[in-house]
A and B are shown apart, each in its own frame.
Chain A
């Protein structure tokens, strides 16, 4: 089947605007992760969903960031009042078995805040 799908692939926004990023995981994958990757940097953990458990939000950098997931399907990452330092690639990944099996990454959303 299809892999992890993210949209949009690119997003340019003005400072102070809100943005919403979408992730469609692989069907049947119970675990879903969001990571942020700044240019030339590593993968910064943001949030983790596992089934119906409460999400692990420990990586969200500020209260401007939030994420939701509907059941075991689509997830949206929302950034309110964007700042220039939010510019990065936002990667979504899903897994069939959390913490012990491979992650399948989407191609990411390149966010540019002007």
Chain B
């Protein structure tokens, strides 16, 4: 069945450094790849997404890259700030179908 693997499970960086989180997916029909941020005790919220017809998308300090051939995609956060500390989830879906999430990455940004 569909599966999304996410690494690392925890990531600690110094403020100002970059953070990279990687995901792989199993269903080659997947064509939509969002990333969600979940702060402690709060609901997940979408931070960026990418569709299969593009290889990279950027929004200020956040970027996502997609390699459809290898079936993996990554989240890049530059110039990290303490408020970036949260759990980040990648996800993959087939258009018109369910969204499957990765296991999550707990990011800690140390001031």
Contacts and interface: CB of A to CB of B under 8 A. Distances in A.
Contacts of A41: 103-104
Contacts of A62: none
Given A33-B98, A33-B99, A91 B43 contact: yes
Contact of A99 (B36, B43, B45, B94): B94
Contact of A103 (B46, B96, B97, B102): B46
Contacts of A108: 43
B104 A42 contact: yes
Interface string B73-106: 0000000000000000101011111111111100
A106 B95 CA distance: 22
Interface extent on A, as a size class? Answer: 20 to 34
A33 B6 CA distance: 21
B44 A105 contact: yes
Contacts of A106: 43
Interface in B35-72: 36, 42-46, 49, 51
Interface stretch (A14-22, A43-51, A64-72, A78-86): A43-51
B76 to A, nearest CB: 20
Interface extent on B, as a size class? Answer: 20 to 34
Contacts, number: 64
A42 B44 CA distance: 11
A42 B103 contact: yes
A107 B39 CA distance: 12
B1 interface: yes
Contacts of B89: 42-43
A100 B51 contact: yes
A70 to B, nearest CB: 20
A70 B6 CA distance: 35
Contact of B98 (A42, A56, A91, A107): A56
Given A58-B1, A99-B93, A43 B98 contact: no
Contact of B34 (A33, A91, A102): A102
Interface of A: 33, 35, 41-45, 48, 50, 56, 58-59, 91, 98-100, 102-103, 105-108
